[in-house]
Chain A
Amino acid sequence: MTDSILEVRNLSTHFFTDDGEVKAVRGVSFSVAPGETLGIVGESGCGKSVTAMSVLGLVQRPGKVVGGEIMFKGSDLLKLSKEELRNIRGRDIAMIFQDPLSSLNPVLRVGFQIDEAMYAHDKIPKDQVETRGVDLLKQVRVSDAARRIKDFPHQFSGGMRQRAMIAMGLSNKPDLLIADEPTTALDVTVQAQILELLRDLNEQTGAAIILITHNLGVVAGLCKRVLVMYAGEIVEQGTVEQIFERPQHPYTWSLLRSVPRIDANRGHRLLSIEGLPPDLIDLPQGCKFNPRCPFRVERCFTESPLLEQVAPEQRAACWVTMERAYAEMGAGSITDTSPGAASGIHPTGRARPAVEVPVAMAEPVSD
């Protein structure tokens, strides 16, 4: 895609902590077309937010972008000066955050916080800022906007605060809005309203949206294209239909199987993904999902799979892919989701022994 407004190539962001180098994002590449809605999903700590923060240059010490390119409108954001990047932040690329209460400054009026985003850049003429502030609050459907704009954040409800955050984000008519878990801290009804608002604003203003969430329902409701991240890497990407109907990576598949559905058959078991995401300091060899994958094969322990085309517009990083898992491993009727359950591959690469607990683990060697 040459006409993309944002193109991230091979981005790596690491955190240099006392315990070691946390490789939070590794070799992530993706692009966003003008006006597109892109979802980034994955469980907590998989690098979604760090990816977004890296784009805006907001990664704080001890974090650091260690490699890659972030091309925005023809320039590499990683090569810009602090001042040039500051001028893009909030002006061309805006970001809204998860918890709208803690994300608004408690001691400043809501209107002031919206207006200062406009005063910080020269995009909106100074004499129009205040009226635009009220208009924005109306646009995000805060009732009685002219009066409420003088309120402090604690006088707003949770949904209104997120609306105010969105108004702030849109104030400079950005080309790209990054929404990091915008609905997580809100009630379900308010979540739906905020998503609808984002959808409408995307259509009205033409701003592209990157939606970061761990909630697959939210992605289905808003996005056209989806990236699935696991342990700091993109493991699958595709259109929202492809990801939801024909997921090819076992992680995506497991995620979908762990979402309760109101239209599921009675007796349909909700499956969980066993185990925890890997330690980002000491990553497993080969595929990073192998310690939790029911479909892993021996190759998964030695070689990292790369993103490969599995369908038009769909790419997955997996040696097995779900197509094979369905055909050879009976993935359609699986009830045991423990690692290697479907393929029969034990962590050491041998077949699963009859006895579950290895002797070495039950009786620690005393040397």
Chain B
Amino acid sequence: MLTRGTLIYIAQRLALIAFTLVAVSFLVFITVHSLPGSAFESERVHGKALQLLLHEYGLDRPVLVQYWSFLTNAIRGNLGVSFQIRGLPITPLVMRELSVSAELGGTALLITIGLGTTFGVLAALRQNTWVDYTLTSIAVVGYSVPSFVLAGLGVLIFSYWLPTVTNGVISYPAIWTGSYGTLVELSLPAIILGFYTSGQVTRITRAAMLEVLQQDYIRTARAKGLKSRVVTVRHALRNALIPVISILGPLVISIITGSVIIETIFGIPGLGKEFVESITAADYNITVAVFTVYALLIGIANLIVDLLYTVVDPRIRY
């Protein structure tokens, strides 16, 4: 499986990801430092005191020098300190929040793949029946209703109209200390986060299955006398998954960007919520750090997707 060519390919891609990280962090760094205002504005410090504060954080140096020191520190795993909560190291903060977001995003991705492919296959096998129409309709709702509408609706239904069903616990508690959410805390935001992407996967899987089921090799498989379940899963689904994998990269990005909204609405202490709060508070070090982590996640997700191709389709080799 891991041939020399594949290893070289992975090395190249990792180098490309590293380059992307530098480029993304540079752009974001320059952009946020060009914005008017600072994290200390709300504290009403002026004159000498502000100068001292800026000097303490190295903010009185030229931007490029600041970026260079950020970069050299970041390579060693130090993403700097927060302005808002003075001196709080960002790396452990971001790592903890990443684990929360990864749990949410991972669950949403599992729902996306599990539900999306199941719905897609069922809709294709029962084409033009009520099963197909129902599942396709759910998928259309999934990829046409914005997640913040669904999230708002979810909050309304489960915490306002039906508080007894959930005892009012629809997501993470207000003051949350642990690093992972329980299934109860996780389920509603994860379903809403994965709803859009599930709809997309349903649509692609259905279309791909319908096309694959017309292929000659499906006829061959049936002519061999294979059971219809074997024909569907082993022969049809494996081929239908190839286009599904190709949209997995964009879908992972959807989940990451969607998590910013969902975490904010449900108050989940993850990377997305931190992202929004750091911008509001002009805590730029955190903004740059979160942005860079997002770029890393997307880069790695796309690499994994491209490697998945070789697992599903033997004609693709790197």
Binding site for B on A (CB under 8 A): 56, 58, 86-91, 94-95, 97-99, 102-109, 116-117, 120-121, 152, 154, 165, 168
Residue B55, interface by CB 8 Å:
no
Residue B239, interface by CB 8 Å:
yes
CA distance A231 to B314 in the complex (A): 42
Contact A89 B224 (CB under 8 A): yes
CB under 8 Å from chain A, chain B span 285-318: 312-315
Contact B235 A95 (CB under 8 A): no
Contact A120 B225 (CB under 8 A): yes
Q: Told that A58-B219, A116-B230 touch, could you supply 14 new A-B pairs with CB distance under 8 A?
A: A58-B223, A86-B227, A88-B225, A97-B219, A105-B235, A105-B238, A107-B239, A107-B242, A107-B313, A120-B224, A120-B225, A120-B230, A121-B225, A165-B220
Residue B133, interface by CB 8 Å:
no
Across the A-B interface, how many residue pairs have beta carbons closer than 8 Å? Answer: 78
Q: How far is the CB of B241 from chain A (nearest CB, A)?
A: 9
Q: Which of A94, A99, A106 contacts B315 (CB 8 A)?
A: A106
Residue B215, interface by CB 8 Å:
yes
A-B residue pairs, 3 tightest by C-beta: A90-B225, A89-B225, A90-B224
Known A105-B235, A106-B239; contact A97-B216, beta-carbon cutoff 8 A: yes
Known A152-B314, A152-B315, A154-B315; contact A103-B219, beta-carbon cutoff 8 A: yes
Known A102-B217, A152-B315; contact A107-B226, beta-carbon cutoff 8 A: no
Residue B221, interface by CB 8 Å:
yes
Known A107-B312, A107-B314; contact A89-B216, beta-carbon cutoff 8 A: no
CA distance A99 to B220 in the complex (A): 11
CA distance A165 to B216 in the complex (A): 12
Contact B225 A91 (CB under 8 A): yes
Residue B222, interface by CB 8 Å:
yes
Q: Which of B219, B225, B227, B314 contacts A117 (CB 8 A)?
A: B225
Q: A152: which B residues are within 8 A, CB to CB?
A: 314-315
Contact A86 B217 (CB under 8 A): no
Q: How far is the CB of A283 from chain B (nearest CB, A)?
A: 27
Contact A94 B221 (CB under 8 A): no
Q: B227: which A residues are within 8 A, CB to CB?
A: 86, 120
Interface residue range, chain B: 20 to 34
Contact B223 A90 (CB under 8 A): yes
Contact A116 B224 (CB under 8 A): yes
Contact A104 B217 (CB under 8 A): yes
Sample of 14 A–B contacts (CB below 8 Å): A58-B219, A86-B226, A86-B227, A99-B216, A104-B220, A105-B220, A106-B239, A107-B242, A108-B238, A109-B314, A116-B226, A117-B226, A120-B227, A168-B220
Interface SS majority for chain B: helix
CA distance A87 to B222 in the complex (A): 11
Q: B314: which A residues are within 8 A, CB to CB?
A: 106-107, 109, 152, 154
Interface string of B135-157 (1 = CB under 8 A from A): 00000000000000000000000
Q: B235: which A residues are within 8 A, CB to CB?
A: 105, 108
Q: How far is the CB of B233 from chain A (nearest CB, A)?
A: 12
Q: How far is the CB of A111 from chain B (nearest CB, A)?
A: 13
Q: Which residue of B lies closest to A83 (CB)?
A: B227
Q: Which residue of A lies closest to B242 (CB)?
A: A107
Contact B220 A103 (CB under 8 A): yes
Q: B315: which A residues are within 8 A, CB to CB?
A: 106-107, 152, 154
CA distance A91 to B227 in the complex (A): 13
Q: A94: which B residues are within 8 A, CB to CB?
A: 223-224
CA distance A236 to B220 in the complex (A): 30
CB under 8 Å from chain A, chain B span 229-245: 230, 234-235, 238-239, 242
CA distance A86 to B230 in the complex (A): 12
Q: A90: which B residues are within 8 A, CB to CB?
A: 223-226
Q: Which residue of A lies closest to B127 (CB)?
A: A61
CA distance A87 to B312 in the complex (A): 29
Q: How far is the CB of A146 from chain B (nearest CB, A)?
A: 19
Q: Which residue of B lies closest to A168 (CB)?
A: B224
CB under 8 Å from chain A, chain B span 158-172: none
CA distance A104 to B225 in the complex (A): 15
CA distance A32 to B227 in the complex (A): 27
Q: How far is the CB of B25 from chain A (nearest CB, A)?
A: 39
Q: Which residue of B lies closest to A112 (CB)?
A: B234
CA distance A86 to B228 in the complex (A): 9
Q: How far is the CB of B285 from chain A (nearest CB, A)?
A: 47
Q: How far is the CB of A166 from chain B (nearest CB, A)?
A: 12
Q: A108: which B residues are within 8 A, CB to CB?
A: 234-235, 238
Q: Which residue of A lies closest to B235 (CB)?
A: A105
Q: B230: which A residues are within 8 A, CB to CB?
A: 116, 120
Known A87-B225, A116-B226, A120-B224; contact A105-B219, beta-carbon cutoff 8 A: no
Q: B242: which A residues are within 8 A, CB to CB?
A: 107
Q: A91: which B residues are within 8 A, CB to CB?
A: 225
Q: B221: which A residues are within 8 A, CB to CB?
A: 105
Q: A103: which B residues are within 8 A, CB to CB?
A: 216-217, 219-220
Q: A87: which B residues are within 8 A, CB to CB?
A: 225
Q: How far is the CB of A175 from chain B (nearest CB, A)?
A: 14
Q: Which residue of A lies closest to B236 (CB)?
A: A105
Known A117-B225, A120-B227, A121-B225; contact A107-B238, beta-carbon cutoff 8 A: yes
Q: How far is the CB of A64 from chain B (nearest CB, A)?
A: 16
Interface string of B192-222 (1 = CB under 8 A from A): 0000000000000000000000011101111
Contact B226 A97 (CB under 8 A): no
Q: B215: which A residues are within 8 A, CB to CB?
A: 102
Q: B217: which A residues are within 8 A, CB to CB?
A: 102-106
Q: B225: which A residues are within 8 A, CB to CB?
A: 86-91, 117, 120-121
Interface centre among B220, B222, B239 (most CB of A within 10 A): B220
Contact B239 A95 (CB under 8 A): no
CA distance A97 to B220 in the complex (A): 8
Contact B216 A102 (CB under 8 A): yes
Contact B224 A105 (CB under 8 A): no
Known A86-B227, A97-B216, A105-B239; contact A58-B222, beta-carbon cutoff 8 A: yes
Q: How far is the CB of B218 from chain A (nearest CB, A)?
A: 8
Q: How far is the CB of B209 from chain A (nearest CB, A)?
A: 14
Q: B238: which A residues are within 8 A, CB to CB?
A: 105, 107-108
Q: A107: which B residues are within 8 A, CB to CB?
A: 238-239, 242, 312-315
